[in-house]
């Protein structure tokens, strides 16, 4: 199947290796794989790639998983457009990705543009936080 991150690449050649445990080589691929994970309802992947300092980080994994599962169940992930990928020129373990995600929720259509920041720890990129623009 085509990858749910809307790359037009097949899932097994795009985000699936990351969902299976391979570290994403850069923050952009990590970001795309998180979008695909939302679309596929891979809540554990979302949790595992969220930095503990993220405001949505939840220590209670069962509660968090159930929140994510509910969000995924009522949402459709219709499109992803990457607007900018900005690796930090001074720090190879930091990067920002600006993207617009198209979604539907309970028949409401929404597009949100976010600047996400990512940090690499122990060879793994993590979603640190995001701000809507």
Binding site for Zn ion (CB under 5 A): 3, 5, 7, 14-15, 32, 36
The torsion angle over the Cα atoms of residues 25, 27, 32 and 33, rounded to 10 degrees, is: 50
Q: Residue 52 Cβ, how far from Zn ion at the closest point, in Å?
A: 25
For the chain, give percent helix, strand, coil, nearest 5. 30, 40, 30
**Minimum distance from CB of 78 to Zn ion (Å)?**
15
**Contact (CB, 8 A) for 80 and 65:** no
Minimum distance from CB of 66 to Zn ion (Å)?
25
Which residue lies nearer to Zn ion by CB, 5 or 97? 5
Residue 82 or 115: which CB sits closer to Zn ion?
A: 82
Residue 23 vs 133, nearer CB to Zn ion: 23
Distance CA 75, CA 67 (A): 12
């Amino acid at each position: 199947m085509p990858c749910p991150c809307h790359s037009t690449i097949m899932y097994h050649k795009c985000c699936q290796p990351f969902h299976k445990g391979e570290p994403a080589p850069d923050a952009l691929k990590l970001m795309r794989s998180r979008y695909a994970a939302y679309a596929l309802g891979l809540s554990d992947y979302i949790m595992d790639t969220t930095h503990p300092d993220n405001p949505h980080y939840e220590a209670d994994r069962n509660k968090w998983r159930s929140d994510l599962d509910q969000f995924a169940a009522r949402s459709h992930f219709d499109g992803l457009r990457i607007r900018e990928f900005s690796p930090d020129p001074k720090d190879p373990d930091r990067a920002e990705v600006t993207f617009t995600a198209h979604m539907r929720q309970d028949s409401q259509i929404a597009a949100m543009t976010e600047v996400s920041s990512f940090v690499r720890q122990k060879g793994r990129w993590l979603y640190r936080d995001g701000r809507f623009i």
